[in-house]
């Protein structure tokens, strides 16, 4: 189904922590079509600058509302943070290929899947967890330090078990979230037919892919890449796979861990 370009009314746009913001806009069309792992491409300003749109993962949907989660890092996201309720955004979406949900029988001590979030990786994974709410996947969240842990309470509100890893040990497991993932898999009494879903920095995803392959587990990885057009026209977000080069915006952003060549 082709994406739509619409003028979407902003419902809310609030900072909830440090430079992290939640934005909600009205679009029954996008909300009705969106799948976990897909994204929207937003023109943050009505002016010429910035020229490029900003791709943002869909954090969740409710009725005709679409929720985004973003971090203010540069000019584009700073402009976006100044947009007010009642204003309209030029939005294209939903874009890309999202996650595939696990079939019946995927279990790890009661969990249907493990979701691994690094940094802003919680943005698309919360949407995914809501779709898996009956199976209550195990959530692993990684951050440099306690103050950078994101989305933990939202995942817990869904009834999922949440384990945290911080590089400095200020919260939860001391070390990288991929080390925590390896520990969880070692301690599992019943690995069963398991799936791993992950989103975060590229080094983290590479490590998740290796761990999954070493344990003969299927993994789906949502890549974070710089994008320009968001529809596969500019070839600006190409990644190498075993079957050739593919575009993150059009062929992804979700890829099988076994497909990627790092």
- Pairing mode, if any, of strands 65-71 and 88-95? unpaired
* Domain chopping of the chain, boundaries: 4-95, 113-256
Q: CB under 8 Å to 176, separation ≥6 — which residues?
A: 142, 165, 167, 204, 207
SS3 49: coil
pLDDT at residue 103, rounded to an integer = 60
Cβ-based burial of 208 (10 A; exposed 0-12, middle 13-18, buried ≥19): buried
The reply to whether CATH 2.40.30.10 applies to domain 4-95 is: yes
Examine domains 4-95 and 113-256 and report if their fold is the same. Answer: no
pLDDT at residue 105, rounded to an integer = 47
Gap between the terminal Cα atoms of the chain: 30
Which stretches of the chain drop beneath a pLDDT of 70? 1, 102-111, 189-192
Nearest in space to 230 (alpha carbons), one of 97, 34, 41: 41
pLDDT at residue 212, rounded to an integer = 95
* Residue 258, CA distances (Å) to 99, 114, 120, 157, 237 in order: 15, 17, 23, 32, 19
Please identify, in words, the CATH class of the domain defined by 113-256: alpha beta
Residues 81, 13: contact at Cβ < 8 Å? Answer: yes
Reported pTM: 0.93
Beta-carbon neighbour count of residue 210 at 10 Å?
15
């Amino acid at each position: 189904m082709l994406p739509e370009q619409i003028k979407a009314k902003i419902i809310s746009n609030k900072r909830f922590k440090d430079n992290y913001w939640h934005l909600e806009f009205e679009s029954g069309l996008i909300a009705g079509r969106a799948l976990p792992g897909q994204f929207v491409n937003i023109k943050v300003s009505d002016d010429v600058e910035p020229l490029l749109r900003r791709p943002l993962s869909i954090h969740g949907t409710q009725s005709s509302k679409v929720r985004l989660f973003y971090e203010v890092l540069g000019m584009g996201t700073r402009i976006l943070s100044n947009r007010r309720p009642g204003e309209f955004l030029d939005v294209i979406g939903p874009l890309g290929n999202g996650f595939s949900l696990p079939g019946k029988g995927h279990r790890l001590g009661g969990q249907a899947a493990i979701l691994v979030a690094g940094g802003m990786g919680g943005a698309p994974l919360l949407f995914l967890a809501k779709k898996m709410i009956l199976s209550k996947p195990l959530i692993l969240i990684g951050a440099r330090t306690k103050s950078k842990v994101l989305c933990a309470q939202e995942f817990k509100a869904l009834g999922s078990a949440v384990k945290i890893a911080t590089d400095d040990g200020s919260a939860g497991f001391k070390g990288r979230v991929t080390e925590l993932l390896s520990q969880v898999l070692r301690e599992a009494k019943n690995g069963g037919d398991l799936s791993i879903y992950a989103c975060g920095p590229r080094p983290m995803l590479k490590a998740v892919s290796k761990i999954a392959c070493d344990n003969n587990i299927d993994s789906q990885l949502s890549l974070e890449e710089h994008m320009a057009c968001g529809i596969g026209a500019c070839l600006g977000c190409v990644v190498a796979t075993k079957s050739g080069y593919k575009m993150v915006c059009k062929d992804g952003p979700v890829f099988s861990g076994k497909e990627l060549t790092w």
